[in-house]
Amino acid sequence: MQAILALEDGRVFRGKGYGARLERTGEVVFNTSITGYQEIFTDPSYAGQIVVLTNPEIGNYGTNPDDDEAGKPYIEGLIVREFSPYASNYRSHQVTDEYLERHKVPVLSDIDTRALVRHLRDRGVMRGVISTSETDVDKLVAMAKATPSIDGLDLAKQVCTKEAYQWTKGDVEERIIAVPHPSVQQISVVTTESVGDRNAPARKKVVAFDYGIKNNILRRLVTSGCDVTVVPAQTSAADVMSLQPDGVFLSNGPGDPDAVVYAQKTIREMAGRVPIFGICLGHQLIGLALEGKTYKLKFGHHGGNHPVKQLKTGKIEITAHNHNYAVDPDSLKQSEVELTHVDLNDDTLEGLRHRTYPLFSVQYHPEASPGPHDSHYLFADFVQMMSEWRK
């Protein structure tokens, strides 16, 4: 089937359609990751966004339940250069086309994604509509212009859990075993879940705020030695502190951090009383809670290949990013807040630490699945902070 992308400025791209037959609107952004497309589909931070993937072929290794970052895809639509209707991978449970059709996500393929990405880099992210049914361009452009902006929207409370729950699963490792057979060599896949020693006295009790939390963050916390309780975004500081946690985690999530006023208030009430670690939206909310300001990037950071520098050591980490907003470093009180990480592409602030409170955060994703894994040490830093705080 045919498909169309119409942008609010009137630019139109036509190609082949896959996935669901419908129209979806959203903010159009691009992601430069080479692999991990299913993790991108199911990242709640992409709520309200149509995603352009710059890697030229997408869908070729299919989909499987282990790679979901949430219970369903959150992208509004997908745009690629070449979309594979077939899957060739021993882990695949369902071809990507069927997976996205089942979850009502339209796909636009066979367009010049380089031209589209260049347009977004030059003009900035903009609202758009992707359609695999409507063909009237004027109607689609008007629909794009009428799409609400993400600016000012609190999407965290829309995507978060409605009830608190316990998360117990750790990292999943797979080993491939070749089994001899008279006529053909069969492949057996053994899956092992790493949960650590649950009886170890060093395990920490962590309350994780769900603003759109990814499953792999929870797996990393468990593997790092934490017993995790996940709570809704609007949970009060009093309710969290009543659980007597060793630490509090603030998750990633979609939307404008300025609009999540209740979370800023909660963080201010907890700061200095319990160790806090924030990622992505959690980092932005910490910045706002510390009386800083946030701003929207021209076209955001989305991809698994962003170089970030540790300011104290000079070490460079290759990191995964997915953020449209950033904390203004000049708005923070340098006497209270230490700047710890910076993006080498555009000098965006990527990490901070409070000089007095047990509190730190990063803008990027140290838990990134399928990678890179340069920043796993941050989870160990969180566990160490909790151990030292109890002393």
Q: Is 311 helix (H, G, I), strand (E, B) or coil?
A: coil
Task: Say if CB 384 and CB 301 are below 8 A apart.
Answer: no
Active site (annotated) includes residue 306 = no
Asked if residue 350 lies in contact with residue 318, where contact means CB atoms within 8 angstroms, the answer is no
Cite the DSSP H helix spans in the chain.
Answer: 37-41, 96-102, 113-123, 137-146, 156-159, 215-223, 237-242, 261-270, 281-289, 377-390
C-alpha separations of 47 from 37, 153, 179, 201, 219 in Å: 15, 11, 43, 39, 22
Nearest to 18 by CA among 115, 137, 133, 139: 133
For helices 215-223 and 377-390, give the axis angle rounded to 10 degrees.
60
365 catalytic? Reply is yes
CB atoms within 10 A of CB 387: 15
What's the Rg (C-alpha) of the chain?
A: 21
Any bridge partners for residue 327, and if so which? 294
For 238: left if phi > 0, alpha if psi spans -120 to 50, otherwise beta; the answer is alpha
226 is catalytic: no
Rounded Cα distance, 66 and 215, in Å? 10
Q: Given 27, 39, 76, 280, which residue is catalytic?
A: 280
Q: Which of 119, 283, 321, 365 is catalytic?
A: 365
Active centre residues (catalytic): 280, 365, 367
